[in-house]
Amino acid sequence: MSRITTSSTAEYFAKNLQQVGFSSPLKAVLTTLKEAVDNSLDACEENGIAPELTVSIQKVGKGSTKSSDLIEIIVEDNGPGLELNDLAKVFGEYLASSKFGRGQCSRGQQGIGISAATTWAQLTNAAGVRVTSKTKKMRKAILADIDVDIKANKGIIKKKETVDWDKPHGLKVEFRIDGRVQLNGDGGLITYLDGTTLVNPHLSLNYKLLDSDWVHVGRVSEEVPKVPPPTLPHPHTMKLGEFMTHAGLYGKITLDKFLKKGFSRISEQTINDMKKHGLKKDYLSRPLTSIKETEYKTIFQAIQETELSNPTTRSVLTVGEEGLAKSIQRLGEIDFFSVNTRKPRICDHKPVVVEVAIARFLNLVDTEEAAQLLRFANRVPLQFDKAACAITKAVESVNWRSYGLTQPKNSMPLGPYVFAVAVTSPFIKFKNASKETIDASDELVEEIRRALMQAGQRLSRHIRAEDRAADLERKIQHIEKFAPILVHGLAEIVSAPKKREKAAEEGLKKILGRDADDAEDKLKEAEGQLKILKAKQRKKLGIGEEAVEEDEDGGDEVSEVVVAKGTKKKTATKKAATKKAVKKTTAKAAAKKVAKTTAKKSARSKK
């Protein structure tokens, strides 16, 4: 019989790095960047600092393995920095985290990601991570090279020195890893940085990717989001084992006190209800230490049987409609868009909030392509395995055709749109440790669907107004095309003399003129309504410079924003938008054209 051995957590992850996002050279670069950026943003937020990040990704040589490059990834922040003692733990030890299981909406949760990045660097380039750190208290910064001691799951500081750094505080990480760089598309670095920018309006970002120029994305909100403190656990979200472990933390207090102090949504009244469901009265006065395991089970069962209020949704954080509205303009030249932040809800006994932003971009002109979907979980972009994700399922299940978009059945809608869907919850159920796919429970998919449908309704107002304009123009052209054929056909059947045909043409022109006038009036009305709507939205969000007109219908709460074009950053890798996607011609011009061309066509001699 073979000997049973145990291995360290680091050993496990070193052998299974694919489980945490290092399954290919391409994903390795993205995951490393993502882990570093997540840590920086979390650290800044916890300390109330508006984050200012600098990212540089360069190809610096050949990788150790076939068909890979040596990629240097540098992420620098203005966060609080780390003390020397913490550096080895954070970058070199697995499951060493300040955030594990505390029930907050932070990006990082378990303390795996950045240690995995160090391990990948170590495995592919024989060197871990180089960290420069400076806290407020330090006069000089610490520069340290850190490796993971894989056997012991400990961080080792291999080299340490103090250096001058002109920043008051901050952290800089440098990885050199085997990888490959993809800029655009679902797994692209630009897609990731765009996504991160979108859901972090308070982020100021400078980045340089490969040979392109430095890109600066300024912040659009000065307000640093405060991550709500965790709330007490809800007993219905626990398993029996977790319940007993939780009890272990409270020592000798009585069960009665433990239930009231250790959980949310338990009161004297609910304890009385529990008694009706089989909770023995004498258990309540006994200290926790004297309760046996079998007794815990009956207590737990009684609690599960009792109806309790849903967990509180106070622990959930949102980006907010205003933040999303402003932030989305940083992604490109936008024609119009719609944002929607739902109220926090309980899905699968967990508080969750869904936010949606849908935008039509002027620089994405190919209307035959599927719209781009940006998925976020706790403000972190999800870029792989989208098919099974709750967000993808929800987007595909909505009938976008009813909002004026083109959509093949049960698929992503088509057109120059970006759909951004953010799910935020202190307890997001991921399908895998690399946190790329949100588990598609029916309740969550339905909640996302509702958010999308609300955003869709708002979006459809723009699309419909446009359609109306285009439709009227189409109609006028329609008459212009068919009327001369009609007259000619009638004249031929009745063998009418030329004089009669001419008189009929004149009469037709009069009729068309009336139609064109009507069409023009209707178009003017539609354009006027849209103008009022846009002005009202600008006023609400303080965007754009045009004078705000009074809203006549008043009281209509709309959250979509239409912005004046040209607020986009300069991105060297993106094509500048030059044309507006939908060109509108006014009905007046069309009407004039009608009269002209009708006369021309009807002048055609009989065959």
Partner 1 sequence: MARREKMIRIRELDKNIPKMSVDICNQMLTDLENAKRPVIEAVKCSLDNSNYDPKVGFLTPGDKKIRSELNVSSVQKMARTVFMLNILLNNIKSGAVNTKRELYYISKGFMKSDPFYKPLDFDDQPESDSVIDFICDMLEVYREEMNCFAGDRGGQTYSQHLLVTETLSDGTKANVDLSTLGTTPFQPKNKPQQFQLKKKGKIDFCLVVESEGTANTLVANGITKRHNCIVIGAQGVPSNGVRGWCKTIEDQLKVPMYFYGDLDAYTMQNIYRTLKAGSAASLIRNSDFSAPDVKFLGVLPEDVKKYDLHCYSVGEKDAAEARSLKKARDVLANDPFFKDKKNKDLAAILRWLVKEKKRCEQQAVFSVDPKNPRILEEIIVDKIKKGSYV
Q: Which residues make up the interface to partner 1 (CB under 8 A)?
A: 475-476, 478-479, 481-494, 496, 500, 503-508, 510-511, 515, 519, 601, 604, 607
Neighbours of 572 (CB within 10 A): 11
Q: Which is nearer to partner 1, 226 or 478 (CB)?
A: 478
Contacts of 310 (CB under 8 A, 6+ apart): 234, 265, 346, 349
Quick one: which of 186, 203, 452 has its CA closest to 327?
A: 203
Contacts of 471 (CB under 8 A, 6+ apart): none
Pair of tokens at residue 364: 């994405």
Contacts of 514 (CB under 8 A, 6+ apart): none
CB 180 within 8 A of CB 66: no
Minimum separation from the CB atom of position 586 to partner 1 (A)? 17
Distance CA 11, CA 8 (A): 5
Minimum separation from the CB atom of position 521 to partner 1 (A)? 14
Minimum separation from the CB atom of position 441 to partner 1 (A)? 22
Minimum separation from the CB atom of position 410 to partner 1 (A)? 13
Minimum separation from the CB atom of position 471 to partner 1 (A)? 10
Minimum separation from the CB atom of position 373 to partner 1 (A)? 27
* Helix (H) or strand (E) segment spanning residue 147: strand 141-149
Minimum separation from the CB atom of position 525 to partner 1 (A)? 17
Q: Which is nearer to partner 1, 401 or 478 (CB)?
A: 478
Q: Which is nearer to partner 1, 213 or 506 (CB)?
A: 506
Q: What angle do CA 261, 264, 265 make, to 5 degrees?
A: 115
Q: Which is nearer to partner 1, 253 or 508 (CB)?
A: 508
Q: Which is nearer to partner 1, 486 or 589 (CB)?
A: 486
Residue type, 601: K
Measured in whole angstroms, how far is the alpha carbon of residue 13 from the centre of its chain?
28
Paired with 76 in beta bridges are 54, 172
Q: Which is nearer to partner 1, 486 or 564 (CB)?
A: 486
Where would I find the beta strands (DSSP E) of 262-367?
334-341, 345-347, 350-361
CB 17 within 8 A of CB 156: no
Q: Which is nearer to partner 1, 2 or 495 (CB)?
A: 495
Q: What pairing do the DSSP bridges indicate for beta strands 345-347 and 334-341?
A: unpaired
Minimum separation from the CB atom of position 518 to partner 1 (A)? 9
Q: Which is nearer to partner 1, 292 or 607 (CB)?
A: 607
SS (HEC) of 319-346: CCHHHHHHHHHHHCCEEEEEEEECCCEE
Distance CA 177, CA 400 (A): 43
Q: Which is nearer to partner 1, 295 or 471 (CB)?
A: 471
Distance CA 57, CA 76 (A): 12
Distance CA 308, CA 320 (A): 29
Minimum separation from the CB atom of position 506 to partner 1 (A)? 8
Minimum separation from the CB atom of position 597 to partner 1 (A)? 12
Q: Residue count of the chain, please give it.
A: 607
CB 384 within 8 A of CB 433: no
- For the CA atoms of the chain, what is the radius of gyration? 31
CB 9 within 8 A of CB 94: yes
Where would I find the beta strands (DSSP E) of 404-546?
417-424
Minimum separation from the CB atom of position 282 to partner 1 (A)? 55
Paired with 159 in beta bridges are 145
Contacts of 241 (CB under 8 A, 6+ apart): none
Distance CA 40, CA 53 (A): 8
Q: Which is nearer to partner 1, 218 or 507 (CB)?
A: 507
Q: Which is nearer to partner 1, 469 or 533 (CB)?
A: 469
Minimum separation from the CB atom of position 412 to partner 1 (A)? 22
Q: Which is nearer to partner 1, 187 or 513 (CB)?
A: 513
